[in-house]
Structure 1
């Protein structure tokens, strides 16, 4: 068995993305080369490591064992890099961070910009996923850290508060749902929605709450981010739900009305999670310290309304 670090890193990327093509791209490798490496691993072991299908590739039971050990090898490599960093200034560290929509749009850009500027020897692989998928990936050792909403089941992981967040309803000026105080999510489900694009962690979160009410959201259009969503709502295309900070930014120049949601899941604390913080690499621990330096504070909702 002659697996090198490139083989193991590639296999992890395939397991994380569910695709040989996407795993090869993340590894900066040609598809033919990646496929040949995987075949070489399977031939060396004499068993298949991936189940290949039209929807991608996923590890077999033997492949899951390879993922487990490959992640341990990569984790030890990162720990070594962190411990040697003071002696080898040119040594690069790498942290894999998964985040939900709210954190990746509203909080992480500024926080990571400052951290990366102060730590030029650390690279961060940041990816958006729904909170439940982040918990599964961190628990399985497929990511170092995750930022998730506190409503998700975090059993088995260690957590630290990161930031506070509140979801609000945005409607066009004069809409029937505006002006009467907080609104329950269930009371919005007969309205046409401007939604976030497929794959958005926040949109999947909202879709799941609609499904629990036995309904589904009716989308007029779906867009990539909260800013575009608010612009379309302003023009009367439909209503939408976004983080409060995004609504506050948009209302500075948009004729929006912003309505609090009365549901208990609307106000959230975003949590930073890991399998064990004390087992992280020195680079990842440094990032944890930086991201949790400001304790989250969730202020009471203010009466938001457009001009």
Structure 2
């Protein structure tokens, strides 16, 4: 089957005007040439695309199918031209990226640094949100790309790709009573004083929700902006215990007197995924970021398989 862009544009113009004559004129084509193209196309496809009527033409069922695909193909061609034109003009691109707490604090900083260094004409707006809100933002067009936990229903119409694995752990001062435990359930920590993240933190909202499900609430002595390092520093000083990303806990333990205890709760193990509406529908600068993140995830998987 041979289809070209001239044929697709002609079919759309004929359908939009309801006339082969007017469709030919809109396509800057002689009527005889347009009629011959449509006849040849129908013979090639083995079906009529238009019903010929006394006053113009109307698409058949097969014609409607061709029209639908023709619109998609031509839209992608226009998107490609626009994206390439931006590169030719040196226009800056901007990606709206939303992430949960663990990814924004632990996994994205180095990934974004290498991406931005390699793409000086692309900017990234990073916002932190709970995974459920990220999915809704992507679906509603309020964000281009998201990093979410796989426990969240990412909705059938969204695409997703593996990014990283994140496990939540409890960190305590070295001499804390819970420090002797090899593993612990979140429920068994709720009698302790906690150091938490600032209001609005996606992870803190997540922990507050799980505490509420047990009929309890976190006893927060201190809420800190600035991320896991600041939280771990306060834990080391004996202000309370905290739940943080395992990656952050192991890093902080190298310079702080901390005990790191895995949480046994199923929700504590989270596989982070890159979430987006449609990879092919993203602007080229957003697509470049997704491919960069996927490449880093593949490298991490390869390193893990060698161990």
| TM-score between both structures, scaled by the size of structure 2 | 0.69
Question: In structure 2, how many angstroms separate the alpha carbons of the residues matched to 1:79 and 1:229?
Answer: 46
Distance 1:218 1:78, change over 3 A: farther
Any idea what the Cα deviations from partners look like across 1:16-59, whole Å, max 9, x if unmatched? Answer: xxxxxxxxxxxxxxxxxxxxxxxxxxxxxxxxxxxxxxxxxxxx
Match of 1:174 in 2: 175
Distance 1:128 1:77, change over 3 A: farther
Instruction: Assess if the C-alpha contact under 8 Å between 1:182 and 1:262 holds in 2.
Output: yes
Question: In structure 2, how many angstroms separate the alpha carbons of the residues matched to 1:275 and 1:104?
Answer: 20
Match of 1:155 in 2: 155
Post-superposition shift, 1:287? 0.8
Instruction: Assess if the C-alpha contact under 8 Å between 1:169 and 1:242 holds in 2.
Output: yes
Tell me which of 231, 234, 248 is aligned to 1:232. Answer: 234
- Secondary structure in structure 2 of the residue aligned to 1:279: coil
Higher helix share: 2
Q: Does 1:128 align with 2:89?
A: no
Question: In structure 1, how many angstroms separate the alpha carbons of the residues matched to 2:200 and 2:82?
Answer: 33
Question: In structure 2, how many angstroms separate the alpha carbons of the residues matched to 1:216 and 1:277?
Answer: 40
Match of 1:275 in 2: 277
Post-superposition shift, 1:267? 1.4
Structure 2 residue runs without a partner (length 5+) = 1-76
Structure 1 residue runs without a partner (length 5+) = 1-75, 300-307
Distance 1:81 1:126, change over 3 A: farther
Any idea what the Cα deviations from partners look like across 1:51-101, whole Å, max 9, x if unmatched? Answer: xxxxxxxxxxxxxxxxxxxxxxxxx9987652324432x211111100111
- Secondary structure in structure 2 of the residue aligned to 1:120: coil
What RMSD, in angstroms, separates the aligned Cα atoms of the two structures?
2.1
Match of 2:54 in 1: none
Structure (1 or 2) with the larger CA radius of gyration: 2
- Secondary structure in structure 2 of the residue aligned to 1:146: strand
Distance 1:252 1:78, change over 3 A: farther
- Secondary structure in structure 2 of the residue aligned to 1:198: coil
| TM-score between both structures, scaled by the size of structure 1 | 0.69
- Secondary structure in structure 2 of the residue aligned to 1:109: helix
Distance 1:182 1:85, change over 3 A: same
Equivalenced residue count is 224
Q: Does 1:102 align with 2:102?
A: yes
- Secondary structure in structure 1 of the residue aligned to 2:280: helix
Could you list the structure 1 runs, at least 4 aligned residues long, displaced by more than 4 angstroms after superposition: 76-81, 296-299
Match of 1:3 in 2: none
